Amino acid sequence: MRNALKALFARVGMLLLCLINGYIYAQEPMVFGTLTSLSEAVSSSRGKETPLKWIDVNTSRETWAMRDGILVCSGRPIGVMRSEKQYENFIMHVEWRHMEKGGNSGVFVWSKAVPGEKSRLPDGVEVQMLELGWVELNTKNGVAPPDAYVHGELFGVGGVKTVPDNPRGERSKSIENLCKGRGEWNTYDVVCVDGVIKLAVNGKFVNGISQSTQKKGYLCLEAEGAEIHFRNFRLIELPSGAK
């Protein structure tokens, strides 16, 4: 009985410590990227852009670091960092490059930013970012996965349902592989409006989904085991849709 009580108190103590550390850490959001409205974006003045703030959900202080304007993600531990606020309709521009062969990452949109118990990742619609070498590393018995994995798949996660433009099961695959490999910068332009998403990879629209069952939420940057860099993150907030 005494040992059981000691174990219980130890667990409670660790929980309180985690909560306290999490609270302290939450008070120090990371600044990365800019936010502007549609009217401000089309005007000649860019002075009304405001910094975007990000809050760690379940990673660590060492997972994310700003270096010369580049957000460096170590990929470990697996988890996400979320935007300070929720967004509904918007245009997102982000540039990214993987630093490890077969690296995995992505951006979740319209997310509640609550990690799953097993996956450590939240719900929402994931905009996939895989390094080209992922296909080779995951070839089994001479059978390689489809290239569709690596160039901007879109799919609902955590119970969120979507209708794929280019079905690969419940996911939507890009119609053309435009991604660049390890160490090279890729550009994603993502238009999210009223449950519809259109994705442009390196200057060309190649994928989309519609009828998302979740149409508003946080943005989440994903750490999933490999180093990835992000830069030039810009968000243009669009007017809300009809209810």
Q: What is the pLDDT of residues 37-46, one digit of tens each?
A: 988 887 755 5
Does residue 170 sit within a domain?
yes
Asked if 27 and 55 touch (Cβ cutoff 8 Å), the reply is no
**What's the domain count of the chain?**
1
pLDDT of 121 over the 80 cut: yes
| CATH number of the domain residue 115 falls in | 2.60.120.560
* Residue 71, H or E segment: strand 70-73
Does residue 3 sit within a domain?
no
Q: What integer pLDDT is reported at residue 146 of this predicted model?
A: 77
Q: What integer pLDDT is reported at residue 4 of this predicted model?
A: 52
Distance (Å) of CA 147 to CA 116, 150, 153, 161, 204: 27, 6, 10, 23, 17
What global pTM score does this model have? 0.87
143-179: pLDDT as tens digits: 988 776 777 999 999 999 999 999 999 999 999 999 9
Q: DSSP string of 79-132? A: EEEEESS-BSSEEEEEEEEE-STT-EEEEEEEE-----TTT----EEEEEEE-T
Q: What integer pLDDT is reported at residue 24 of this predicted model?
A: 40
pLDDT of 74 over the 80 cut: yes
Range of the domain at 201: 29-237
Q: Which residue has the higher pLDDT, 26 or 220?
A: 220
Q: What integer pLDDT is reported at residue 90 of this predicted model?
A: 98
**What are the two backbone dihedrals, phi and then psi, of residue 16, each rounded to the nearest 5 degrees?**
-65, -40
* Average pLDDT in the chain: 89
Q: Position 108: which residue type?
A: F
Does residue 41 sit within a domain?
yes
pLDDT of 198 over the 70 cut: yes
Residue 79 gets the label, from left (phi > 0), alpha (psi -120 to 50) or beta, of left
Q: Which residue has the higher pLDDT, 163 or 15?
A: 163
Q: What integer pLDDT is reported at residue 147 of this predicted model?
A: 74
pLDDT of 13 over the 90 cut: no
d(CA 162, CA 184): 30
Does residue 2 sit within a domain?
no
d(CA 108, CA 214): 12
What is the sign of the dihedral through the CA atoms of 198, 72, 226 and 21? negative
